[in-house]
């Protein structure tokens, strides 16, 4: 293979591997009611579910999805 074409071929192959984050919807006016979230299985006994919420982004509200957070100072058994 021609060495000049190698970067082009690699770029074309890796170009399909781009992963885009889900866009955060922005809502103008008062925050809407909380979204329905399906809570996945906890990664371990020392985790607690933190529900999602609408967060102010200067000009509107954007949804912050819920996530599992490790309990501080809790070791589980």
pTM of the complete model: 0.55
pLDDT under 70: residue ranges of the chain: 1-27, 74-77
Give the model's pLDDT for residue 54. Answer: 93
pLDDT at 18: 44
Q: Cα(45)–Cα(65) distance, rounded to whole angstroms? A: 21
Q: What angle do CA 63, 65, 68 make, to 5 degrees?
A: 155
């Amino acid at each position: 293979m021609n060495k000049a074409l190698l970067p082009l071929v690699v770029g074309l192959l890796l170009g399909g591997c781009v992963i885009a984050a889900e866009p955060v919807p922005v809502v103008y006016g008062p925050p809407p009611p909380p979204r329905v979230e399906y809570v996945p299985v906890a990664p371990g006994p020392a985790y607690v579910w933190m529900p999602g919420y609408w967060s102010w982004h200067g000009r509107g509200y954007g949804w912050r999805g819920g996530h599992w957070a490790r309990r501080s100072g809790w070791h589980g058994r």
